[in-house]
Amino acid sequence: MGISIASLAAVLLFAATIVWVKSTLADHQQHFASGESLNREDEILSGCPAEFVTQIFAKKDLEYVSGLGSAQLKRLFAQERKAVALYWVQQTSAQIRRIMRTHLQASGRSRDLELITEAGILLRYGGLQFLCSVLFVSIALAGPQGLQGLAARADGLAQRIREAQLGFQAAKEAGRTHSA
Amino acid sequence: MSATVRLVSVQDAYDDLLQRTLSRIPCEFGRLIYLASTRDYNSGTYHHEGLAARFQADTARKALEIAHRQVFYAVSAYSLEDLVSELEAYLQSSRENPEGFLRAWQKLEPYRVAIPLEANPTIARLFLSNIRLALAILRFRREGHPTLP
């Protein structure tokens, strides 16, 4: 029994990984087509505002569409909202990965590293990436509605990493000005 | 010109745009389409003859850009139900044949040009997705089935 549950979980995880890789690749190609690239420096440090994250994962719109009494519209809604939610998860995960890369490069050159702060950032990063994976699989399997709490937690973690990076940059700038 | 003076004049141009032009457009969605139409397709820069004559062209451009972004975020934050009402109000104000309007909008997706250049990519996705849904809902209300694009 225990083995069969573990096998099922492994199969699900494998399937989710394939979906993730495929949609990431498709998404990457779409970026070139639509010009929605996230490479701009100002975009790197700003995420999607929390009110929009709430909207993507809320049940209000689903209730409205369900009330219209069309199975086709309900299917379209589920498909559309799932795509937006998955996109948000991918964007958040990719954005924080980029921020961490920049942070690690900068902290590697820094002489006055605070180990506790650095460990805290790394822990938050690990937690966020784990939450993003859980969210991705859950959305792909059941849709985004009902995952508002988890999404808010991931959004909060991402925001704290962004703020930590901004703080790190500000401290570096201040140090540079002071030494000059 | 100092930054304060410049900010004040952008604020003045913005207020002027709200009072003289945007307040005359009956719905927020109409204001969004109008503001997007003041942007050049090739360069992505905004231009408004009257506003540029009253203020400097650069100031007018900045005011239009800010107004566009604000209206875009306001429309993107609408619930689906409110967006359907907005789109319906816009459809009525356009005086076009509703069937033709809905068919053209579902096929050509002209609302894509309403996204500001620096919009957050997730919000842009949400906006496009919600418009697609609102169009399908309006079509469902008129024809009894959504007729997906």
Q: So what's the ipTM on this one?
A: 0.86
Query: Nearest CA to CA, how far is A6 from chain B (Å)?
Result: 35
Kindly list the residues from chain B whose CB atom is less than 8 angstroms away from the CB atom of residue A81. Answer: 129
Question: Is residue A6 included in any domain, yes or no?
Answer: no
Question: Is residue A159 included in any domain, yes or no?
Answer: yes
Question: Is residue A13 included in any domain, yes or no?
Answer: no
pLDDT at residue B125 in the model: 97
Q: Cα separation of A180 and B58, whole Å?
A: 36
Identify the residue with better confidence: B49 or A25: B49
Asked if A27 is an interface residue toward chain B (Cβ–Cβ < 8 A), one would say: no
Average pLDDT of the segment spanning B14-19: 94
Q: Is A52 exposed, middle or buried (0-12, 13-18, 19+ CB in 10 A)?
A: buried
pLDDT at residue A74 in the model: 96
Number of domains observed in the structure of chain A: 1
Asked if B82 is an interface residue toward chain A (Cβ–Cβ < 8 A), one would say: no
Question: Is residue A8 included in any domain, yes or no?
Answer: no
Cβ of B122 within 8 Å of Cβ of A87? The answer is yes
Cβ of B123 within 8 Å of Cβ of A60? The answer is no
Query: Nearest CA to CA, how far is A58 from chain B (Å)?
Result: 10
Kindly list the residues from chain A whose CB atom is less than 8 angstroms away from the CB atom of residue B139. Answer: none
Kindly list the residues from chain B whose CB atom is less than 8 angstroms away from the CB atom of residue A77. Answer: 80, 133
Range of the domain at A95: 20-179
B79-131: pLDDT as tens digits: 999 999 999 999 999 989 999 999 999 999 999 999 999 999 999 999 999 99
**Helix B121-143 and helix B98-108, axial crossing angle in degrees, nearest 10:** 150
Kindly list the residues from chain A whose CB atom is less than 8 angstroms away from the CB atom of residue B106. Answer: none
Average pLDDT of the segment spanning A82-101: 94
Enter the tokens of residue B54. Answer: 């009253």
Question: Is residue A49 included in any domain, yes or no?
Answer: yes
Cβ of A81 within 8 Å of Cβ of B137? The answer is no
Question: Is residue A39 included in any domain, yes or no?
Answer: yes
Which residue is closest to B74 within chain A, CA to CA? A52
Contacts 24+ apart (CB under 8 A), B5-12: B6/B59, B9/B55, B9/B56, B9/B59, B10/B59, B10/B62, B10/B63, B10/B66, B12/B55
pLDDT at residue B148 in the model: 59
Q: Closest Cα partner for A162 from A66, A98, A68, A89?
A: A98
Question: Is residue A7 included in any domain, yes or no?
Answer: no
pTM above 0.95, yes or no: no
Question: Is residue A43 included in any domain, yes or no?
Answer: yes
CA angle A89, A55, A129 (to 5 degrees): 20
